[in-house]
A = this chain, B = another copy of it.
Amino acid sequence: MEKIEILGLIAAVFTTSSFFPQVYKAWKEKSTKDISLTMYIAFLIGIILWLIYGYYINSISMVIANTVTLVLVLIVIVLKFKYK
């Protein structure tokens, strides 16, 4: 694998896994008032498009990263509704 693709994978791990602490914080503190629902809905749409893009250019790392992010972003949105 080319070095630059390794950099892309590391970048994907950071941007994808970054949502775990937000999901954990919202779930633990049962508070999401300061989180912007508009942001997460726009981000969700973008992630779905990136997922389709990754599928069409046969980039397995993009498909995996965006699938994980999609699930995490959906959880934040559910927690946003649950803990207004």
Contacts and interface: CB of A to CB of B under 8 A. Distances in A.
Question: Which label, helix, strand, loop or mixed, suits the secondary structure of the A interface?
Answer: helix
A44 to B, nearest CB: 8
Given A34-B25, A49-B7, A39 B19 contact: yes
A82 interface: no
A16 B39 CA distance: 10
Number of copies: 2
A34 B16 CA distance: 19
A42 interface: yes
Contacts of A10: 49
Interface of A: 4, 7-8, 10-22, 24-26, 29, 31-36, 38-40, 42-43, 45-47, 49-50, 52-53, 56-57
